[in-house]
Structure 1
C-alpha cells in the first residue's frame, strides 16, 4: 500500500494530504434523525471496552465519554458502561480470554491483522459491511485493510499511526548535529552525544514490545518491506544475512551504551519521560506519543521536538515507514436487535468529521477518516504527516501479522539481547525454529 497515493501532499502545507473530495459529514448534526429503540420502554445495556486508561489519555477518554453521553441521549433506555483496560492487557489477555469463552463486550478495542482474522474464524465479530453502507461511511475512511476478511469489514479504525524517530532539536543544534539521514550518520551522532554525557536514545525495555518497534523498522530497512510475509510463507528466514544484519546493528547500539541506562527495569512511560524531560536526543516511538510530548505540563521540549523517518541503512526497505490504521472498535456478533440499534448510533456519534478533527488537533492522532478541514494543526503533527506522506510506502507492524508464539519469543529474546544474555545469530536461529513450528502448525489447522 503506497501511503503517498492515499495522502497526496499539496503545495508546502504538509498536512494537506488529508484533504478529500468527499462531501461534508453531517452525522453529528443536531437535526440527524434519532434511532428507535428495540421496544418502547426497553432498557438497553452496552459495555464499551476501551484502553484510554493512562494519565496521558485523559483527553481521549473525555471525548469517548462525550460520545457515550450523546449516544445515550439519542437512544431511549440506553445505558452504556465504560470498561477501561490497559491496551496490552486487553489485547493479549482479557479480550483473548473473552473471545475464547464467547463473551466479549458488545464494543471493544480491536487490533487489526492476525487478531481480527482469528476472531472472525472463531465467529465472534459483527460484520460491519452492511452497517457502514447504511450509514454512508464506507468511502469516508482511508483504509479498512487490516480489518477486512474475505471481503467483509469487522473493525472501524479510530485513528492512524506512524512510527519513527523523534529528536530533540535543541540538543542536536547545540552539538552541531544535523538529523541523521544514514546509519553511519546516526552512529556518529550517538557517539558524539555520549561523549558529551547526553543519552543518545531513550529506551524502556521492561515492556518488551517497545524494543521491537525500532527493530521492526531496522530489519525492514535491511531486508525489505515484505520480509514478514516472507517469514510466514517460508520464502524468507530470520537467519538470512540481511535480517541478521539489522539485529547485529541493534546489538551495536546496545554494546556501545547508546541506550538509556537501566532500560530493562523501566516501563514504557519512563522512555517518554526521559525524552520529554530533555535528557535524551532521540526516541523511536509511535505518533501516539504526541500527547505527552506536546503537553507543557508534562514536557520540557514542547517547542524543541522534531520527527523523522528512521535513517537509511542501505537496504531495499530504505524510505518505507511503519504506519497505517491498526486500532479500531470491534463489535460482538452476539448482540440483540435493540443493542444493534444502539451500536449504530454509537458509530454515528464516534465517526464523524468534528470528532476526527478534535482527535487530530487536541491529541495529534492521524485521522482514520478523510477530513476536509485540517486547520490549526500543531507543527509537529504536520511534520509527522509530511514524513508519512512523502515516504516510499508503508508497512504494518510485524505483530499484526506474525504468529503469537513467534512474537512472544522475539520479545523475550530481545530483552535477553539488551541484557547481554544472547547474540543476534543465536537469537535469530531460535526465532526461525519457532517460525518453522508456527508455520507448520498453521498449515495443519488450515
Structure 2
C-alpha cells in the first residue's frame, strides 16, 4: 500500500501564497484558453445553456461549503454567456445509494454530480455513463496538479476530479483527558485503560451514533487493518483471505469488548450521525472516531464547547501488521455525464476552471479544514487541529482506502446490518464473520462469471 504523497508536500510548503492578480476563482488567463464561444440564437443573443449540479452540501454544518459552490457557480455563469446552472442538493447517502444509482440505470444523470470513487466509478464506467476527463484535464493543464486520481481511474482514463482529501482517525478531548490524568493513548491497552477509567468516573468514553450503519464501519475498518494488515480487503476479493481468519476475527472480538463494557454512548442504535458529533462537541464523550469532514462542527464556536480542546490521532496500535496505517485519500469527486451537448461541454470546462484552482483549494482548507486535492504552494495559517491532522497523515506508514469503495455492494450491506446486530447483542463475532464470508464468496463468484 503506497503512501499518499500529499502531506509530504503540504507540511513542508512555504508560508507565502503566491497569488496572481486574478480573481479568487478565476485563473490568470489573458484569453479564453481555447474554450470557444457559445452558439448564438437568431436574435444574436447567446443560445441558452442549462446545467444541473447535484451536490451533497445540504446539512447545517455544510453552509460554508455550499457558499463556496455558489460562488463557483456565479463565476462560471459570468464567464459563459447564456449559461444557467441549477443546484440540486441531496443528502450524500441518498445521492450515492439511491438517486444517482437510479439515474445512472435510466441513463439520465445530471450533467455534474457528486461521485464516489472505486466501485461506484467502475460500475458507471462499465455502464458507459461517465465523461472521460483525461483530455479535458490535459487541455486545462490540470493533469499534474492533483495528488491522486487513483480512485477515479479506470482503464487508464480519468472519470472524476477529487474535491478534497479525507483522513479518518480518533478525535479526543484534550482538556478532559488532562483533567483526569490520562495521556493520549498510543496502544490498544492504553486506550482500554483510559476508557475504563473514564467509565468509572461516569464519563462516556466513545461518542457513537449507530443508526447510520456506515458510521460504525469507519472504526471497525481501521481495526481490522490494524490486526490483519492493509492488504486484507484485497485478499478477501481475490480469495486469499477470509473474514473468518483469526486476525480478522480478532478485530470484531475487540470491538465487541467495547460494546460489552459499555464504552459507547447509550442508545447509539437510535441516534443519527449528527448526534455522534453533538455528543462530542458538547463535552459528553472523551473520544470520537470520525473523518476529517467532521472538522466544521468541531471548530464552530457557535456549536462546539470544545473548540480549543480538540486533538486528533491515528487509532492506537493493536499489535498487528497494520499498525501505523491510516484510512485516507481522495474518494469524493465531481463526475460528469457523458451525454452532454458541445455547449454544455464548453460550460463544464469553465466550471472545472473555476472550481479547481489554488485559491479555491486554499479557501476550502482554511474555512473548512478540508485537506486539499490539489498541490498547494502554501498551507500556512491553518487551524492547529488541521495541522495536527495533516501531521498524523504525514507520519503514518501509509494509507488504505475505505473498504466500501472497494468491496462489493452486497457484502457492504451485510456488514452494515451485522454490525448493528452486534451492537444490539443479536449476533457475535464468530457468526458475523462466518456469514460475511459466505456473502463474500458468493459476490466473488458472481464477479468472476461476469468478467
TM-score (norm 2): 0.95
Contact residue 17 and residue 389 of structure 1 kept, 8 A:
no
- Deviation, 1:36, is 3.6
User: How many residues of Structure 1 are paired with residues of Structure 2 in the alignment?
Assistant: 440
What corresponds to 1:418 in structure 2? 423
Q: SS in structure 2 opposite 1:372? A: coil
- Deviation, 1:8, is 2.1
Q: SS in structure 1 opposite 2:166? A: strand
Aligned in 2, Cα 1:413/1:444: closer, same or farther, shift over 3 Å? same
* Residues in 2 aligned to 1:440 and 1:247: alpha-carbon distance in whole angstroms: 25
What corresponds to 1:33 in structure 2? 31
- Deviation, 1:374, is 1.3
Deviations for 1:265-321, whole angstroms, at most 9, x for unmatched residues?
Answer: 000000000000011000000000000000000100000000000000000000000
Q: SS in structure 2 opposite 1:408? A: helix
What corresponds to 1:16 in structure 2? 11
Q: SS in structure 2 opposite 1:7? A: helix
Structure 1, unaligned runs of 5 or more: 10-14
What corresponds to 1:125 in structure 2? 130
- The partner residue of 1:325 within 327, 330, 337 is 330
- The partner residue of 1:164 within 169, 177, 196 is 169
Contact residue 320 and residue 392 of structure 1 kept, 8 A:
yes
* Residues in 1 aligned to 2:186 and 2:230: alpha-carbon distance in whole angstroms: 19
CA RMSD of aligned residues (A): 1.6
TM-score (norm 1): 0.96
Contact residue 4 and residue 390 of structure 1 kept, 8 A:
no
- Deviation, 1:29, is 3.6
1:281 aligns with 2:281: no
Structure 2, unaligned runs of 5 or more: 41-45
What corresponds to 1:212 in structure 2? 217
What corresponds to 2:43 in structure 1? none
- The partner residue of 1:228 within 227, 233, 236 is 233
Deviations for 1:81-119, whole angstroms, at most 9, x for unmatched residues?
Answer: 000000000000000000000000000000000000000
* Residues in 1 aligned to 2:3 and 2:86: alpha-carbon distance in whole angstroms: 37
* Residues in 2 aligned to 1:188 and 1:360: alpha-carbon distance in whole angstroms: 35
- Deviation, 1:4, is 5.8
* Residues in 2 aligned to 1:254 and 1:365: alpha-carbon distance in whole angstroms: 31
Contact residue 27 and residue 357 of structure 2 kept, 8 A:
no
Q: SS in structure 2 opposite 1:259? A: coil
- Deviation, 1:2, is 3.4
Deviations for 1:381-420, whole angstroms, at most 9, x for unmatched residues?
Answer: 0000000011000000000000000000000000000000
What corresponds to 2:92 in structure 1? 87
1:2 aligns with 2:2: yes
Deviations for 1:32-86, whole angstroms, at most 9, x for unmatched residues?
Answer: 5344443122110000000000000000000000000000000000000000000
Q: SS in structure 1 opposite 2:387? A: helix
Contact residue 110 and residue 329 of structure 1 kept, 8 A:
yes
Aligned in 2, Cα 1:32/1:118: closer, same or farther, shift over 3 Å? farther
- The partner residue of 1:272 within 274, 277, 285 is 277
Q: SS in structure 1 opposite 2:8? A: coil
* Residues in 2 aligned to 1:269 and 1:337: alpha-carbon distance in whole angstroms: 42
What corresponds to 2:51 in structure 1? 46
Contact residue 281 and residue 304 of structure 2 kept, 8 A:
yes
